Structure 1
Amino acid sequence: MQISVRPRPGTPRMAEQQRFPSLSGGRALVIDRASEMRAALGRGLAACGIANVDYVARVSDALARLNQSSYDIVLCEYDLGQGFDGVNLFETSQRHQLLKPSTIFMVITGERRLAQVMSAAELAPDDYLLKPFSGGELISRIERALRRKGRFRVIDDAVRVGDYLAAVSACDEVLAAEAPDAIEFRRMKGRLLAQVGEHSAARDLYRELLAERDAPWALLGLGRAQFSLQQYDEAQQCFERVKQENELVIEAYDWLARTMVAQGDPKTAQEVLQDAARRSPLVAQRQRALGGLAHRNGDLAAAEAGLAQAIELSRGSFWRDPATYGELARVQLERGDIGAARRTSTRLKHDFRGDAAADVLLQLVDAAVTEQMGGDSKLERDKARQKLKEACEQLETLDDVPAGVLLEAAHACYARRQRDQGEAFVRKALRSSHDDTELLARVEGLYQALGEPETGSSLIAAATQDILELNNEAVRAVQAGDLAGAAQRFVGALESLPGNVQVLLNAVHTILSLINRDGWNPQYMLLAEQYLARAKRLDPANGKTRQLIDAYRRTQRRYGVDAPGAAAAQAAAAAAEQGEGTDKAA
């Protein structure tokens, strides 16, 4: 997209504020329930030179568009209906990285809503436009936002190809030049550092910023960095301060609740999330967390409400978790509502048609329903036991099963006194996500409900220790210069830990280090490509994944092998050549 600034027709070349941008070739998204407002905004964008405009009226359609396409400008009505607003949409888009760094996100609102928008202005939208407005006002607002964000295009270029470290370097170059908009680049740098998993550097940057100015977004960023570093006391202080001073910044509530769970206080965490949900009820992840906490705390009515709301909000979106349906059905059965559990099962089957992990959950729910309907009937108990057995056997054949699904299977096994199988599923879930604080909290909740909190603690400690020992062995091999040995250890470990994102990424890092030291190896590059794809699928927001995708591409370029699928083709050719050599020798 080329951006130029030219005088308005009929006006002299005077102050910069009297000029407006031409965004020829740019792309915009307009989100508004009113067709006449969508048309008016389209005319304003056309005056800026934007002919490529998409229009949506619903939040789900907006998220789908943002996930599929890259937009230069997003114009969004504040009131999106049913309690969802434009600031919620912006936060969701940022959380899932659906916007380019240079994307302009503008909220359009009426005067009575202005306070809500302005309360989050430092944390969310780039600008706001108060209704009613003229075409000239819209153009002026877009121009002002472009002045602020147009320079982020150099970061766009780096992020587009996955080179997040280059994006951080681009921020540093601007900061070294002491640009007038340095604060925006420091803010962007903090976000990028968090995205690539450099949490210590992000923490230090936010501390420097807060020493200079009291910015809620910097305090929130500092809290997130400290949480990632497991500095929970410090993180809690940050989130509580943001919440007290900016009560409409709902993200602070979510992080505060997460921090309290990590510190072993689920009851207070539920209260915090309930407060957040009252203020902003239509966020699926918030309702999912609230439902899970309420279930853990024995508040079944709140658990059912939260989990059901989470499912409704996420249906039709690309952020759906089949385990949510499984937990909802468990809650409904605990409340004695068999009909509701069966309806949840029907929804699960419809929403996840063809999903193997969801099929297992369906069998688990069916087994539980059969058992509860059968009462004291031995025949029905035997049927339920057989269905559970078949579900567990199917689960054992699947790769990369989500940890939540494994925990649902564990709940089903423990409920039917199949302790060994239940514990095996818990171990597998922990080995795939041993550093996921929310997963750990759910495991602790499972064993607290069983009256065996020490068992949960020991399983968590054992899983963590196994991963640490594996990493330590590989690190010692690396320190001794045995990169090949370290790579072999990781590759071997992934046969039993196929879904552990940390091990996947450590394996990739070691493989790339080995190749950059000793030369091109198509088999290892193919493994690195496969591991990165698996890690991205399991944890799309993981910053280290982005960092290593960049390193993988740079390694390809170094050896002149950067075509898509090149590693797979070379590995296949090498394997075929090796096979021919074996045949000749025979």
Structure 2
Amino acid sequence: MADPQRPPTLVGGRALVIDRASEMRAALGQGLAACGVANVDYVPRVSDALARLNQSSYDIVLCEYDLGQGFDGVNLFETSQRHQLLKPSAIFMVVTGERRLAQVMSAAELAPDDYLLKPFSGGELIARIERAVRRKGRFRVIDDAVRVGDYLAAVASCDEVLATDAPDAVEFRRMKGRLLAQVGEHVAARDLYRELLAERDAPWALLGLGRAQFSLQQFDEAQQCFQRVKSENELVIEAYDWLARTMVAQGDPKGAQEVLQDAAKRSPLVAQRQRALGGLAHRNGDLEAAEAGLNQAIELSRGSFWRDPATYGELARVQLERGDIGAARRTSTRLKHDFRGDPAAEVLLQLVDAAVAEQIGGDSKLERDKARQKLKEACDQLEDMDDVPAGVLLEAAHACYARKLRDQGESFVRKALRSSHDDTELMARVEGLYQSLGEPETGSALITAATQDILELNNEAVRAVQAGDLAGAAKRFVSALESLPGNVQVLLNAVHTILSLINRDGWNPQYMHLAEQYLSRAKRLDPANGKMRQLIDAYRRTQRRYGVDAPGAAPRTPEPNDQGADKAA
């Protein structure tokens, strides 16, 4: 572990400068050079910045507040945090003019590490950077653990620093809370945030407490936290998003839409926010707002790595409900262009084209039959595919129900729920589907059944593990994944059981191959899942324990005191 007492420095570090003005980029680069930073990337646009952040690990990011078209530096920081694009010690500094200072400062405790007020001198820039380095540089002790995905080791590093009565203990406790949430330790995160709030009234801690309570399905308490942050810090837009999500989980989609509309007025250029707003508006029968939100979500995410083909499908449905066949056809063209080569998107394209063809055909039985045949072919392809995103399955269900294919529609709903049985937003969309059909009780029954099925499977395997029958539990999970190939929780539970079995009974190449496949599938379906991060590290430790660090290597017999993988798995 790095020495926490060593004075932090940016010498040899890497920086990203984000500003539309070339002269400002040059000025910021000169300041960074004076601090010893020789490797600096410069970008003028948000899309370029996100691409760079996704590809590289930066020590410092200097970002202009006003990034154009309504997007700002605080939005960019929020997006970077949500998708874990910044390492713990990374400095994110917003550069702004005086008239924008209030907006930056209102969110400063939750977002940027510092701000720089324009106009500034070279000396002021250097002083700000050095101050931020001193304050944030001590997080480098946990960078290495986060870089290799060992989030539990990162938590342990925080605890080591906290045991020394560090002067910046609050910042390390704040980082620990974030790390606990990332690895799915929501009870521990909740308790930590409660301790912090008992000592000081910090909006970031209240927001963290609300997120932990939401993950634990303590929705009443979570809603109170988010409502309070929103009321006391109206420019902390993340609180609006979480409040709306909680209201949906509580069965108040209209109230949630109002909250998101308020958030979108203040910060309109966040794709996930617009996607959620469009979906809620559609559910509430507000087709104009639905089309606007979904359209905006697609535009904001085009060319990025956070695109969802189901958004295009829902937008086309909204446009057809509004009677705008031309707009739906244009959406179909965009879907084909943006997801070329994606099998699930290609099936979704067929579903959209079938709906368009049916509406164009009007009362013509021949055209209706052609559209119905297209739908059947699309559904048949979907049935034969693995790892279909839950949103695409739900779009297929909508298409089937619209054409009176109840059994097929219900089958897709069941598959969507079984793949994401703990996704509250998906459950809300399923509830919306059956409410539109006048059958809310059917949606509730399907959600309950899917949840119970997964719980029974997990409980059965857990009982086998508790009885010492790891081999039996592993077989149950492997068998279950034949019918639940896209359920992330079952995938990860299977990996945990397999690794435990191997670390107890010895190397098994077939099971290790399955564990690798399951982890790859889980990462593709839910890249931000905390438990998945832990298990990737456990998988690597198990490989190292048996001397299999590369495919094809022969396993060795572990030494009796070789306990690393046992702890991890």
TM range (shorter): over 0.9
| Distance (whole Å) between structure 2 residues aligned to residue 179 and residue 413 of structure 1 | 60
| CA distance 1:226–1:15, shift in 2 (3 Å) | closer
- The alignment of Structure 1 onto Structure 2 pairs a total of residues equal to 568
Compute the displacement of 1:552 (Å).
1.3
Compute the displacement of 1:460 (Å).
0.6
Contact in 1 for aligned 2:546/2:557 (Cα 8 Å):
no
Contact in 1 for aligned 2:547/2:555 (Cα 8 Å):
no
- Per-residue displacement from partner, 1:404-448 (whole Å, max 9, x unpaired)? 000000000000000000000001001100000000000000000
Secondary structure at the aligned position of 1:574 is classed as coil
Contact in 2 for aligned 1:20/1:143 (Cα 8 Å):
no
Secondary structure at the aligned position of 1:576 is classed as coil
Instruction: Work out whether 1:269 is the aligned partner of 2:249.
Output: no
**Of 442, 465, 469, which aligns to 2:452?**
465
**Of 45, 56, 74, which aligns to 1:69?**
56
| Distance (whole Å) between structure 1 residues aligned to residue 4 and residue 481 of structure 2 | 58
Secondary structure at the aligned position of 1:481 is classed as coil
| Distance (whole Å) between structure 2 residues aligned to residue 476 and residue 19 of structure 1 | 49
Compute the displacement of 1:16 (Å).
19
Secondary structure at the aligned position of 1:55 is classed as strand
| Distance (whole Å) between structure 1 residues aligned to residue 564 and residue 23 of structure 2 | 71
Contact in 2 for aligned 1:44/1:139 (Cα 8 Å):
yes
| Distance (whole Å) between structure 1 residues aligned to residue 303 and residue 557 of structure 2 | 43
Compute the displacement of 1:66 (Å).
0.3
- Per-residue displacement from partner, 1:307-337 (whole Å, max 9, x unpaired)? 0000011011110000000000000000000
- Per-residue displacement from partner, 1:492-518 (whole Å, max 9, x unpaired)? 000000000000000011111111111
| CA distance 1:529–1:19, shift in 2 (3 Å) | closer
Structure 2: 5+ residue stretches without partners: none
| Distance (whole Å) between structure 2 residues aligned to residue 251 and residue 580 of structure 1 | 41
| CA distance 1:211–1:28, shift in 2 (3 Å) | same
| CA distance 1:487–1:110, shift in 2 (3 Å) | same
| CA distance 1:110–1:584, shift in 2 (3 Å) | closer
Compute the displacement of 1:458 (Å).
0.6
- Per-residue displacement from partner, 1:77-123 (whole Å, max 9, x unpaired)? 00000110000000000000000000000000000000000001110
- Per-residue displacement from partner, 1:458-496 (whole Å, max 9, x unpaired)? 111111111011001101101111000000000000000
| Distance (whole Å) between structure 2 residues aligned to residue 580 and residue 95 of structure 1 | 34
Percentage of pairs with the same residue? 91
Give the alignment's TM-score, normalised by structure 2.
Answer: 0.96
1:157 aligned partner: 144
Instruction: Work out whether 1:574 is the aligned partner of 2:561.
Output: no
Compute the displacement of 1:563 (Å).
2.6
- Per-residue displacement from partner, 1:188-209 (whole Å, max 9, x unpaired)? 0000000000000000000000
Compute the displacement of 1:520 (Å).
1.4
Contact in 2 for aligned 1:21/1:48 (Cα 8 Å):
no
Compute the displacement of 1:25 (Å).
1.8
| Distance (whole Å) between structure 2 residues aligned to residue 500 and residue 473 of structure 1 | 17
| CA distance 1:581–1:150, shift in 2 (3 Å) | closer
Contact in 2 for aligned 1:20/1:140 (Cα 8 Å):
no
Compute the displacement of 1:394 (Å).
1.2
| CA distance 1:522–1:243, shift in 2 (3 Å) | same
Contact in 2 for aligned 1:105/1:127 (Cα 8 Å):
yes
| Distance (whole Å) between structure 1 residues aligned to residue 342 and residue 48 of structure 2 | 23
| Distance (whole Å) between structure 2 residues aligned to residue 534 and residue 580 of structure 1 | 28
Secondary structure at the aligned position of 2:94 is classed as strand
| Distance (whole Å) between structure 1 residues aligned to residue 151 and residue 493 of structure 2 | 18
Contact in 1 for aligned 2:196/2:205 (Cα 8 Å):
yes
Contact in 2 for aligned 1:17/1:140 (Cα 8 Å):
no
| Distance (whole Å) between structure 1 residues aligned to residue 177 and residue 5 of structure 2 | 33
- Per-residue displacement from partner, 1:375-419 (whole Å, max 9, x unpaired)? 100011011001101111111122100000000000000000000
| Distance (whole Å) between structure 1 residues aligned to residue 567 and residue 243 of structure 2 | 66
Contact in 1 for aligned 2:142/2:154 (Cα 8 Å):
yes
2:273 aligned partner: 286
Secondary structure at the aligned position of 1:21 is classed as coil
Contact in 2 for aligned 1:223/1:239 (Cα 8 Å):
yes
| CA distance 1:330–1:576, shift in 2 (3 Å) | farther
Give the alignment's TM-score, normalised by structure 1.
Answer: 0.93
Residue pairs, 1:209-220, within 5 angstroms: 209-220=196-207
Compute the displacement of 1:255 (Å).
0.2
| Distance (whole Å) between structure 2 residues aligned to residue 560 and residue 202 of structure 1 | 35
Contact in 2 for aligned 1:478/1:486 (Cα 8 Å):
yes
| Distance (whole Å) between structure 1 residues aligned to residue 418 and residue 356 of structure 2 | 30
Contact in 2 for aligned 1:288/1:310 (Cα 8 Å):
yes
Contact in 1 for aligned 2:503/2:566 (Cα 8 Å):
no
| CA distance 1:57–1:395, shift in 2 (3 Å) | same
| Distance (whole Å) between structure 2 residues aligned to residue 509 and residue 431 of structure 1 | 20
2:566 aligned partner: 583
Contact in 1 for aligned 2:547/2:556 (Cα 8 Å):
no
Structure 1: 5+ residue stretches without partners: 1-13, 566-570
Residue pairs, 1:51-70, within 5 angstroms: 51-70=38-57
| Distance (whole Å) between structure 1 residues aligned to residue 180 and residue 566 of structure 2 | 51
Instruction: Choose 509-518 or 550-559, whichever is displaced more.
Output: 550-559
| Distance (whole Å) between structure 2 residues aligned to residue 514 and residue 585 of structure 1 | 12
Contact in 2 for aligned 1:121/1:127 (Cα 8 Å):
yes
| CA distance 1:223–1:22, shift in 2 (3 Å) | closer
| CA distance 1:436–1:15, shift in 2 (3 Å) | closer
Contact in 2 for aligned 1:21/1:143 (Cα 8 Å):
no
Compute the displacement of 1:149 (Å).
1.2
| Distance (whole Å) between structure 1 residues aligned to residue 500 and residue 2 of structure 2 | 54
Secondary structure at the aligned position of 2:40 is classed as strand
Secondary structure at the aligned position of 2:20 is classed as coil
Compute the displacement of 1:48 (Å).
1.1
| Distance (whole Å) between structure 1 residues aligned to residue 32 and residue 565 of structure 2 | 66
Contact in 2 for aligned 1:27/1:52 (Cα 8 Å):
yes
Secondary structure at the aligned position of 2:109 is classed as coil
Asked which structure has the greater CA Rg, the reply is 1
Secondary structure at the aligned position of 1:400 is classed as coil
| Distance (whole Å) between structure 2 residues aligned to residue 544 and residue 585 of structure 1 | 11
| CA distance 1:149–1:453, shift in 2 (3 Å) | same
Compute the displacement of 1:151 (Å).
1.0
Contact in 1 for aligned 2:361/2:368 (Cα 8 Å):
yes
Compute the displacement of 1:551 (Å).
1.3
Secondary structure at the aligned position of 1:366 is classed as helix
Secondary structure at the aligned position of 1:16 is classed as coil
| CA distance 1:584–1:505, shift in 2 (3 Å) | closer
